[in-house]
Every structure is written in structure tokens, then in C-alpha cells.
């Protein structure tokens, strides 16, 4: 049964989530093989805005601004994007088992990156190809569903499965013909997902598509509630469901494609985090969209910190999200996602 979360309870839980996000965000600057103390971090950050005598080594400042700042920001943006994309797709399809890759964005992006790597393109070109192929895969799936004569929602899911399988097959063929000494390891590592190579220009490249995808979903989050109650109810309230679905698809696809383009394939976030948010904050999309942003960002920053600290050779973050996400999802299935105490 759906648990009702009161307004006061929601606000208290939201405050806790915001505090957790801030603690993890600033804490992520301090952890790593080059440890930075809290007081030193505060002075380094404040030095960009105030005239403070330098009492820290240049290496510490470079680590904060050139390495950890883009990486932490990328983890927060990608976690928020995948979570919001996942919960938006779940609401649109009225299916809690849907993930951001349901329409082929992840498979398409992976295929585009593999092609770029085999062609020997630059790092920035690989991200661009992945982004374009991710968008193309989804719009190809959407185009197929539009000409189908079956139920539009079912047609989109089936078309997404078809396109995902097609691009996965192309990626497998590319791996087969890739050079085994350099290209194949690069493709394999990219498909596992990682934030090791994140640079400031990656965040700059991603921020505009993320804003374009995120802002409409935040502004129209109350309308997504109407998609979850059924077609007839939404139409009776004057909502054009076909246009709303298309807008959700465009925005969620932008979020998914750009996330995969700069980090590789990171699974489970867009599937598991929305369930956690429903457990804690209820089923209202006016609450789910903002809480998924914060929860997803916090979760991926924590996982990235574990990836940096667990071993001397950094673990690809996509592996860790699978290790963490799969058991959690089993727990949610067994318990039905129920919580107590309200």
C-alpha cells in the first residue's frame, strides 16, 4: 500500500536530505589518496573570493580545483540526471521497473563511443559521438512507435528493446574487430562507466543539456502525476498526453544521453533511487523530482568516493553501482518498498 507522507514529515526529511547532500559534496573534496583537511579546504575555497594569505601547498589547490571539483560536480550532475530520468520514465510508462535506458539511450551512446574509439577520435569527440548516438537511438525508437498500430506506450517499450538490441549488437561487432591492444580495452573500460577522466570541459559540455532536460521536468512535475493515473483521467483535465509524453521523452533522453556521454554506462541509479525516494517521500511527483535530484546526486558522489578509496587501482564506478544496486533492489522487491514510522 502507498504510504501517505504528511507535509511536515516531508519537509523534515527533505531538510535531512539537503544536509546529507551538502556534507557529502564538501566531504568529497577531502577524501582521496591526497587527503585535504577541512580547515585547509575552507581556506582554499575562500581564497578564490577573498584575499587570504596562502598557507597551503600548490598541489592541494590543484587537487581541489583541477581534479576534484570537476569530478565531484560531474558525479552530482550525473547522479541527479539519471535519477530524474528514471523516475520520469517510470511515471510516463506507469511501470516502476523502467530505467533510463528503456528507449535505447544507453545502448546508442555506448555504440557511438565505441565507433569513435575505433576511428581514433579525440576524447571530446568520443563524448560528442556518444551523446548524438544516444539521442538518435531514442528518437529512432520513438519514430517506430509512432507508426505502430498497437498501444503507443507498449509500442515505445518494444521499440526501445529493439533499438537497444540493435545498438548492442553493433557495439559487440565493433569490439570484435577492434584492436585488442589499445582499442578493445578502451571500449570495455568506457562501457563500465568511470569518472577518472573527467575534466572541467566535460562539466561545461554537460551543463547546458542537463539544464535543458531538467528545468522542464521540474516545472511540469505536477503534470507527470496525471500520466500515472491513466489516459482518460488526464484527458478529462485538459492535458494533451501525447505532447506531454514527447516532452518527457525529450528531456529524459537529454539527461540520460549526456550522462552516458561523459561518464560511460552507469547502471541502476535511475532504477533504484526512484524507489528509495518513493519509500521516503511518497508518490507525488511534485516531491519526487526534486528529491530524486538530491538523492541521486548524493548517492553517486558516495559511490565515487568508494571507487577512489577502495583500492589503489580505481574501480570503474559502473561496477560499484551494480554491486550496490542489485542487492538493494532485491531487498525492495522482497519488502515491497514499505517503510514504517510515520
Residue pLDDT, tens place only, 213-250: 999 999 988 888 877 766 666 667 777 778 888 899 99
**DSSP track, 279-333:** HHH-S-HHHHHHHHHHHHHHHHHHHHHHHHHS-SSPPPHHHHHHHHHHHHHHHHH
* Within a domain: 2: no
Please count the structural domains in the chain: 1
Question: Contact, 70 vs 195, CB < 8 A?
Answer: no
* Within a domain: 29: yes
* Within a domain: 342: no
Q: For the full predicted model, state whether its pTM sits above 0.85.
A: yes
* Within a domain: 301: yes
* pLDDT level of residue 288 (50, 70, 90 thresholds): very high
For residue 173, what is the domain's CATH number? 1.10.3470.10
As given in the structure block, the three cell numbers for residue 90 are 517510470
- Tell me the pLDDT tens digit for each residue of 13-50: 999 999 999 999 999 999 888 888 888 988 888 888 88
* C-alpha span between 104 and 168 (Å, rounded): 9
For residue 84, what are the domain limits? 7-335
* Within a domain: 1: no
* Within a domain: 340: no
Question: Contact, 272 vs 333, CB < 8 A?
Answer: no
**Interval 116-130 mean pLDDT:** 92
pLDDT at 175 over 50: yes
* Within a domain: 341: no
**Which of 202, 239, 219 has the alpha carbon at shortest distance from 69?**
202
* pLDDT level of residue 337 (50, 70, 90 thresholds): low
**Which of 140, 159, 136 has the alpha carbon at shortest distance from 149?**
159
* C-alpha span between 21 and 76 (Å, rounded): 9
* C-alpha span between 62 and 114 (Å, rounded): 32
Non-local CB neighbours of 203 within 8 Å, separated by 6+ positions: 70, 73, 74, 77
* Within a domain: 89: yes
As given in the structure block, the three cell numbers for residue 15 are 531538510
pLDDT at 330 over 70: yes
Cα angle 208-273-18, degrees, rounded to a multiple of 5:
70
Amino acid at each position: 500500500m502507498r504510504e501517505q507522507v504528511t507535509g511536515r514529515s516531508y519537509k523534515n526529511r527533505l531538510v535531512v536530505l539537503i544536509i546529507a547532500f551538502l556534507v557529502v559534496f564538501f566531504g568529497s573534496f577531502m577524501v582521496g589518496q591526497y587527503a585535504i583537511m577541512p580547515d585547509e579546504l575552507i581556506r582554499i575555497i575562500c581564497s578564490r573570493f577573498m584575499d587570504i594569505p596562502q598557507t597551503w601547498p600548490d598541489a592541494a589547490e590543484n587537487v581541489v580545483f583541477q581534479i576534484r571539483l570537476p569530478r565531484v560536480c560531474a558525479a552530482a550532475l550525473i547522479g541527479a540526471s539519471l535519477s530524474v530520468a528514471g523516475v520520469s520514465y517510470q511515471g510516463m510508462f506507469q511501470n516502476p521497473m523502467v530505467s533510463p535506458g528503456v528507449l535505447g539511450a544507453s545502448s546508442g551512446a555506448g555504440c557511438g563511443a565505441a565507433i569513435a574509439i575505433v576511428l581514433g577520435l579525440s576524447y571530446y569527440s568520443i563524448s560528442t559521438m556518444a551523446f548524438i548516438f544516444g539521442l538518435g537511438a531514442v528518437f529512432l525508437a520513438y519514430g517506430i512507435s509512432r507508426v505502430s498500430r498497437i498501444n503507443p506506450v507498449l509500442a515505445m517499450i518494444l521499440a526501445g528493446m529493439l533499438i537497444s538490441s540493435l545498438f548492442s549488437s553493433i557495439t559487440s561487432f565493433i569490439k570484435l574487430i577492434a584492436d585488442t591492444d589499445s582499442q578493445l580495452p578502451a571500449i570495455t573500460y568506457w562501457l563500465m562507466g568511470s569518472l577518472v577522466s573527467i575534466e572541467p570541459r566535460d562539466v561545461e559540455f554537460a551543463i547546458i543539456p542537463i539544464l535543458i532536460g531538467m528545468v522542464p521536468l521540474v516545472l511540469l512535475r505536477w503534470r507527470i502525476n496525471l500520466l500515472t493515473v491513466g489516459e482518460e483521467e488526464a484527458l478529462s483535465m485538459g492535458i494533451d498526453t501525447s505532447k506531454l509524453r514527447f516532452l518527457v521523452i525529450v528531456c529524459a533522453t537529454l539527461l540520460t544521453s549526456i550522462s552516458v556521454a561523459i561518464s560511460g554506462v552507469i547502471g541502476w541509479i535511475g532504477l533504484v533511487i526512484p524507489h528509495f525516494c518513493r519509500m521516503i517521500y511518497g508518490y507525488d511527483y511534485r516531491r519526487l523530482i526534486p528529491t530524486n535530484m538530491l538523492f541521486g546526486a548524493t548517492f553517486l558522489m558516495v559511490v565515487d568516493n568508494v571507487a577512489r578509496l577502495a583500492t589503489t587501482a580505481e574501480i570503474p564506478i559502473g561496477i560499484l553501482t551494480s554491486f550496490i544496486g542489485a542487492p538493494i533492489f532485491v531487498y525492495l522487491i522482497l519488502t515491497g518498498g514499505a517503510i514504517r514510522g510515520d
